[in-house]
Structure 1
Amino acid sequence: MTADTDFCRLGRAVVETEMAALDALQSRIDGTFADACRSLLACSGRVVVLGMGKSGHIGGKLAATLASTGTPAFFVHPGEASHGDLGMITSGDCIIALSNSGETEEINRLLPAIKRRGLDLIAITGNARSTLAGAATIHLDAGVDAEACPLGLAPTASTTAALAMGDALAIALLDARGFTAEDFAHSHPGGRLGRRLLLRIEDLMHTGEAIPVVLPETTMADALLEMTRKGLGMTAVVDSQRQVLGIFTDGDLRRALDEGVDVHATAIDTVMTANPRCVEVSQLAAEALAVMERHSINGLLVNDAAGCLSGALNMHDLLRAGVV
């Protein structure tokens, strides 16, 4: 039976080999790499990524990374390309082909068609003297001295190097395009980042009749009825112009009861929290969350640009929307 120490020794050896491959890759981020970036920036169509086997998996990831960071891209399986999918590649597109050997038959079979269309071909290989490297407009060397596999067979260090080279391209392009976190969120509207960067308070807040609101002369008893009906654990206290005077929450209720206040005879403006923290409708929902967390509160009143009450929001609304 293999001992734990042997598992760990082999695992560390793999990591060390792949680290060495990445270290060697740094010196190849040079003028040729910059040429590849300029070619991709100048592309008027889409970036089409090709790769077979493990290189295909890396290619699929590269295409996804490019697409989500501002460079329209998609992956085409080379085997399918020669049976019709080549029609997905159009004038103005740019090709990135990944092959460690540079002699992948399914890719090299497509080279004449790519050349006929006059498309830029960026090859990422581990063999600068290969057929693919020679046919490429730009060749990026992702070669490694050794695979991490002790048999020297399974692609390991070579796929790590290709992955890093692809990521380097994607991030260099992201920066050159001035791609922002908000741009990223627009590409990921279903993700948590997208929700945090795109959702605004006005998208989540309670409005109209759903807002718990009372006038300052309202008794505590009636204010409690309003809180119960609206179910937000609070009520706004406003004047006749809907300017916010204060807020009354479950916490204010507990403090008032501890002091023996008569709920039927006491006006709400004598027990409310005056000048409460409010947010504006145009702010991000994430900003409302930050206010709640910073001040350890569970609800906020929402004002419009004129400072009048426009809505109400609580922590449950943010939880349901996935902002938290």
Structure 2
Amino acid sequence: MTDTRTLLHSAQRTIDLERQAIDSLRARLNGDFTRACELILACKGRVVVVGMGKSGHIGNKIAATLASTGTPAFFVHPAEASHGDMGMITRDDLVLALSNSGSTSEIVTLLPLIKRMGITLISMTGNSASPLAQAAEVNLDASVEQEACPLNLAPTASTTVSLVLGDALAIALLEARGFTAEDFAFSHPGGALGRRLLLKVEHVMHSGERLPCVARGTSLREALLEMTRKGLGMTVILEGDGCLAGVFTDGDLRRTLDKGIDLRSAAIDEVMTPHGKTARPEMLAAEALKIMEDHKINALVVVDGNDRPVGALNMHDLLRAGVL
């Protein structure tokens, strides 16, 4: 039976070794890193990341992180590059090549063509004297004293260092470009952040015939029928000129019942909330959510620049849209 203490010790040793490798990487960051950033910022094309084996997996992630943070990038498998995929790379691009040894044959084979095309080359290696590092304009030192693997063979600490170095590049470039949360949302339109930062009130509000509304002087009974017909849990009350007079919600109905008001004889003016909190169509849906949360309400009237109701929305609408 396996000793659980041995398993935990092995895990802790791995974490300690990889943490030490990252600490060592931090101390080695120098002008080569800033030069690499400058070359990427000056690149008119895309960053093409290449790597074999485990370095390829890390390279794939680095390319994805760069692309999502404002630096156009994609991954090309070096073996496939030798069989036609070099056609994906243009003279305006920049190649970021990952190889712990710096002598991966599939990458070294590409070096003459990269040089002949005049493509800027940045390497990320564990050996600054390797063919790849020597051929690059800048080599980023991703060396480690030892792998976390007890045999010192399986790429573990070295791949962690490469991954962290790639993240450091991406974030330094992000900040240099002034990349914003909204920019991030545009590259992640299907994600939760994209929905929060791109979705506007006008995209989710009930408008036109779907907007429950009655005029001042309407009976409470008729207002309740309008709420039932539109199924929004509220109704807008309009002034004679079409501007917002107030709002009546399910919560107002409960308070009306608590006061013992006769639902059959009361007018909506007696029980509505005057005016109420509002949103604008061009407002981010996330802003509308904050208004609801701050004021502990479940619905908002949407008005135009003249305070005329053009729509309404509630918490359920935001929940369905993925904003909540």
- Give TM-score scaled by structure 2 length: 0.98
Alignment of 1:86-101 (within 5 A): 86-101=86-101
The residue correspondences of 1:263-278 to structure 2 (distance < 5 A) are 263-278=263-278
Q: CA deviation at 1:295?
A: 2.0
**Residue 150 of structure 1 aligns to a residue in which SS?**
coil
Query: For residue 41 of structure 1, what is the amino acid of its counterpart?
Result: L
1:206 — aligned with what? 206
Distance apart, 1:25 and its partner CA: 0.4
The letter for the 1-side match of 2:276 is: P
Shift in Å at residue 242 of structure 1? 2.1
Which sits farther off after the overlay, 14-23 or 301-310?
301-310
Which letter does structure 1 place at the counterpart of 2:11? G
Question: C-alpha separation between the residues in 1 aligned to 2:312 and 2:189?
Answer: 24
- SS of residue paired to 1:74: strand
SS at 2:128 equivalent:
coil
Q: Paired residue for 1:142?
A: 142
Equivalent residues in 2 for 1:80-159, closer than 5 Å = 80-159=80-159
Q: Give the drift of 1:74.
A: 0.4
Partner Cα distance (1:12, 1:221) in 2 = 69
CA contact (8 A) 2:206 2:313 kept: yes
Query: For residue 75 of structure 1, what is the aligned residue in structure 2?
Result: 75
Aligned pairs, number: 324
- CA distances 1:163-219 after superposition (whole Å, capped 9, x unpaired): 111111111111111111100000000000000000110111011111111112001
Amino acid corresponding to residue 144 of structure 2 in structure 1: V
RMSD: 0.9
- Contact 2:243–2:306, Cα closer than 8 Å, also in 1: no
Identity of aligned residues (%): 61
What is the match of residue 165 of structure 1?
A: 165
Partner of 1:46: 46
Divergent runs of 4+, >3 A: none
**What's 2:256 paired with?**
256
Q: How far off its partner does 1:138 sit?
A: 0.7
Question: Which residue type is aligned with residue 269 of structure 1?
Answer: D
Amino acid corresponding to residue 287 of structure 2 in structure 1: E
TM-score (norm 1): 0.98
In structure 1, what is the equivalent of residue 30 of structure 2? Answer: 30
| Deviation at residue 310 of structure 1 after TM alignment | 1.1
Query: Amino acid of the residue matched to residue 246 of structure 2?
Result: G
Q: 1:305 and 1:131 mapped to 2: Cα distance?
A: 66
**Maintained 8 Å contact 2:93/2:119:** yes
Distance 2:26 2:257 in 1: 68
Residues 200, 285 of structure 2: 8 Å contact kept: yes
Q: Which amino acid aligns with 2:45?
A: G
**Cα distance in 1 for residues equivalent to 2:197 and 2:225:** 36
Farther-moved stretch of structure 1 (274-283 vs 53-62): 274-283
Mark the runs of 5 or more structure 1 residues left unpaired by the alignment.
Answer: none
1:275 positional shift: 2.8
Distance in 2 separating the partners of 1:310 and 1:65: 41
Aligned to 1:7: 7
Tell me the distance in 1 between the aligned counterparts of 2:254 and 2:35. 68
1:81-128 alpha-carbon deviations (Å, 9 max, x no partner): 000001001111100000001011100010000000011100000011
